[in-house]
Structure 1
Amino acid sequence: MSPPIDFARTRALIASDFRRLLQALGNPPSKLKRVFWFLLPSYQSLFWYRLYHWLHLRNFRTLAWFMYLVNFYVTRVEIPPTTVIGEACLIGHPNGVVLCGRVGDRFTLYGEGGIGGGMGDGDVGGGPGLPCVGDDVVFAIRAIALGPIRIGDGAKLGPGAIVTTDVPAGAVAAGPRARITRPSAAGEEAA
């Protein structure tokens, strides 16, 4: 489990998620559009996750799990309090999203996919049987990473990719039984 973080850090993570959403949506928004975008389920799921993750790390676990359930019922995004997500996360379309493990900074998930366990018991940094995703990783729609695997920094998973083995940094994995279509640059190590 992660060490407890102070609330100032949690607020900074919340702000980084919102800045990333505004950046993805383009033009500088009016105040009314900011309120609208703040209320989008894709952002709300991360907003509430940040709060209940902080509560979980502060040993308010029952309240954290209750807030997780409310978040799941309202936004249809499943992010347990035990999940660790870096700054500036972006969820494009929230329906059917599951994030269970460890995710790096500037992670992008376009919808109906995610990370989770069920494919082994090892621990590669995401928790027992869970994936560990690096920084600047992009999951296209319906992309899934399962089991104790590592997804390297800057990797991209194509639409419908199902990954059960490590993906090197900078690589592209595509297809329903995903295979690496563009390996990382020579000399780079896998994440």
Structure 2
Amino acid sequence: MSGRLVLATRNQGKVGELRAILADVLDRTGTELVGMDAFPDVPDVVESGVTFEENALLKARFAAEATGLPALADDSGLAVDVLGGSPGVFSARWSGRHGDDEANLRLLLAQISDVPEEHRSAAFVCCAALAMPDGRTVTRHGRFEGTIVREPRGENGFGYDPILQVAGDTRTSAELPPEEKNAISHRAKAFAALAEALPEYLGH
């Protein structure tokens, strides 16, 4: 069976990144991956879930129902251990304004400014979801471990990348070359795990 698989995003960068992660399974199943910009009349869904899995499933199910195609989605954020896993699903709006990366990371650094190095562990967390038009779903998770540094470092990436020092490395996520980060990131791990289940759902 060949056909199309939709990724519940209008961000072409994410579509390209996922085409690379899923290249083998897409080739093997004869499947084309498209973004939601292929469906301009479909509105965006409100991410009202309280966990990464709820939000990923919300987006995937909405896209599958709206397009009649198998749909992929993900939700991710930063989980800081000493903050009980926060900012979590609120990562993009931690400072109160959605997408203000600088304000978000400055607030986070201020909140844990007196926390010693040995208690500054954190991880980027991702849940990737597949939803089928018939209602079947599958989810997989990925983690990108590290510790929170005291000052931002690096120019690559976005969001909290400049303040997460990668476990086993001296560099922050923002100091990694994009291809190196994409090979080990939480999104790559979650979608690589999901790729193993795709042939069964895509008819192969």
Q: Could you tell me the TM-score, scaled by structure 1's length?
A: 0.29
Q: Could you tell me the TM-score, scaled by structure 2's length?
A: 0.28
Larger radius of gyration: 2
Instruction: Kindly indicate whether structure 1 or structure 2 has the higher relative contact order, using CA contacts under 8 Å at least 6 residues apart.
Output: 2
Structure that is richer in helix per residue: 2
